[in-house]
Chains A and B, each alone.
Chain A
């Protein structure tokens, strides 16, 4: 189980990313449209003034139940070990052991 503080930190990043998502997207579009360099720097300054944790690059997927940052499966939002346990317990619909 990951530390609760780390999980909360990640949740905070997600909230910030959602909050500033539209502002970031619009300013990035403006940068591509504006021809002069000085205007581009101004818009870039606006981007820099936003909190760093609002950048989507800072987000990291974590296991839904344990908060583990590695070996995550996007389809389930779980880490490998928990995924295996849940498949054996028949908690994931459609997932079966395979052999071919």
Chain B
């Protein structure tokens, strides 16, 4: 297979300069607070792809009193945010 360059001279496949390969780093960031609001991606390039993954929420319902009163309860939660940035190096 011949490639025609600008000068019109035929260049073989072997003489073509090597392709610049970029590696992609894929990380899943999990945190309790929102990564964008807290600016966890401050050091990355502005064009980094950030894919949002589904957030999970765990509820814990605990009775307020250590002894009696089962009707009065308190609800706690843990929200886990997930982001999936693809960093090109």
Chain A interface (Cβ < 8 Å from any Cβ of B) = 71, 73, 75, 80-81, 83-84, 87, 93-99
Q: Which residues of A contact B47 (CB under 8 A)?
A: none
Chain B interface (Cβ < 8 Å from any Cβ of A) = 32, 58-60, 62-64, 66, 74-80
Distance, CA A93 to CA B32, complexed state (A): 8
Contact A97 B76 (CB under 8 A): yes
5 interchain residue pairs of minimum CB distance = A94-B32, A98-B77, A80-B62, A81-B66, A94-B78
Q: Which residues of A contact B58 (CB under 8 A)?
A: 75
Q: Which residues of A contact B59 (CB under 8 A)?
A: 98
Contact B60 A95 (CB under 8 A): yes
CB distance from A24 to the nearest CB of B (A): 33
Contact A87 B66 (CB under 8 A): no
Contact B74 A97 (CB under 8 A): yes
Q: Which residues of B contact A99 (CB under 8 A)?
A: 75
Distance, CA A97 to CA B77, complexed state (A): 6
Contact B78 A95 (CB under 8 A): yes
CB distance from A6 to the nearest CB of B (A): 19
